[in-house]
Amino acid sequence: MKKFLLFTLVIASFSLYGQRKENGWALQARYGIMEGKGEMNGIASELNFGTGVTIGKHGALAEANLFLQDYYVDKDNLNLPYKLYGLNALGGWSYEGLRNFYFNIKVGGFVGVENINNGNATESQFGTPLTHPVNGFTYGVLAAPEVEIKIWHRLTFLINFNQYWNKGSKYADWKYSANAGIKYYL
């Protein structure tokens, strides 16, 4: 019985092995948690939906994602709900030397619309007027190391860490998220 299980495991691992095809497109979805609390579901969170492409034979990759972030920011001793809706574009490199694992490193930028304090120009607890606009356009840069684990044929499980530097915001600055998700190669 042990020999049969070992044989089955070896055959299964050989049949699952495979590199991503060059110039192959993928669809992906990720959910992540961030530091602090969020307004929508009680925890600070991030949601991403997007597409990616592997470019050529040497590990280059690119991706674009729509994203939503929900968390609280501390500004002028006030704890304010903050939402960011946007689009990010990233480029990077992937190491594919290990069976069924891909290690990706990506950098890029994002643009988005931020909504602070649910659009209210005064803080609700004390009626304090906010010094900066509560709705507006923002931009920044991000870096994202990522691991893909091949689950089945064209489906991979994603684990990644996003570090955002929100350069264009008066309310948010550095923020990170730890994400998990899936990617399906077309």
pLDDT on residue 24: 86
Average pLDDT over residues 176-183: 96
Q: 10 φ, ψ to 5°? A: -65, -45
pLDDT on residue 37: 86
Domains in the chain (CATH in brackets) are 2-185 (2.40.160.20)
User: Is the per-residue pLDDT at 126 higher than 90?
Assistant: no
pLDDT-based confidence at residue 21 (cuts at 50, 70, 90)? low
Query: What global pTM score does this model have?
Result: 0.80
Average pLDDT over residues 87-97: 94
pLDDT on residue 9: 44
CA dist., res. 142 & res. 159, Å (int): 16
CA dist., res. 83 & res. 158, Å (int): 24
3-state DSSP helix/strand/coil percent for the chain, to nearest 5? 10, 65, 25
Handedness of CA 55, 58, 62, 63 (dihedral sign): positive
For 24, residues 6+ apart whose C-beta sits below 8 A from its C-beta are 53, 54, 185, 186
pLDDT on residue 20: 58
Average pLDDT over residues 37-51: 90
